[in-house]
């Protein structure tokens, strides 16, 4: 765990903008091969899971609008940062509904495990963003169905259609 202060900066880009630079000697403590996932607590009150990213000259974490609004911070503001290594397998906690589906469906589990870590993380995130357990179960069923249908070649547009189908027909 490392604690430090850093100034929020803004890239001159339409894609990625607000970020917090992370000193190289601190970032190095959290990089294990390709795994750069961390918990980042900002100003002692907002904790989020994120990845250490590399620009040409320094490491940083991205700061989205929700975080900026929650903390009432803007470009140039100093922010207290506490970094901790994220040891979760997918960068999010695995929802029970999806874990049960993966445990019960070997073919779906095999396709899920063949995906890149980023795609696995995205699928886990799709389920974790839902509060209702029945909705999480429907999304989990739709994800496994989709992975089997496309033989593991994930197509997010098709997956969204499958999720809509499950939401409308499995209540």
Exposure string of 49-79, with b = 16+ CB inside 10 Å and e = fewer, is: bbbbeeeeeebbbbbeeebbeebebeeeeeb
At residue 13 the predicted structure's pLDDT band, cuts being 50, 70 and 90, is: confident
Cα dihedral 154, 123, 97, 91, rounded to 10, equals: 140
* Sequence ranges of the domains in the chain: 2-85, 96-169
Predicted pLDDT of residue 89: 78
At residue 171 the predicted structure's pLDDT band, cuts being 50, 70 and 90, is: low
3-state secondary structure of 29: helix
Closest by CA to 124, choosing from 153, 105, 101, 149, is: 101
The architecture in CATH of the region 2-85 reads: Beta Barrel (2.40)
Instruction: Decide if pLDDT at 48 tops 80.
Output: yes
User: Could you report the per-residue pLDDT of 68-96, keeping only the tens digit for each?
Assistant: 999 999 999 999 999 999 888 777 788 99
């Amino acid at each position: 765990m490392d604690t430090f202060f850093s100034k929020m900066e803004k890239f001159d880009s339409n894609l990625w903008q607000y970020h917090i630079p992370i000193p190289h000697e601190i970032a190095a403590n959290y990089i294990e091969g390709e795994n750069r996932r961390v918990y980042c607590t900002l100003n002692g009150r907002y904790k989020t899971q994120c990845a250490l990213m590399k620009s040409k000259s320094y490491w940083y974490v991205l700061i989205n609008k929700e975080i900026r609004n929650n903390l009432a911070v803007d470009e140039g503001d100093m922010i207290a940062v506490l970094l901790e290594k994220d040891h979760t397998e997918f960068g999010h906690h695995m929802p029970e509904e999806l874990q049960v589906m993966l445990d019960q469906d070997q073919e779906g589990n095999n396709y899920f495990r063949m995906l890149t870590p980023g795609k696995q993380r995205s699928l886990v995130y799709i389920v974790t963003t839902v509060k209702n357990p029945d909705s999480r179960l429907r999304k989990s069923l739709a994800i496994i169905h989709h992975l089997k249908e496309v033989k593991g070649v994930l197509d997010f547009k098709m997956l969204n259609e499958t999720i809509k189908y499950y939401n409308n027909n499995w209540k």
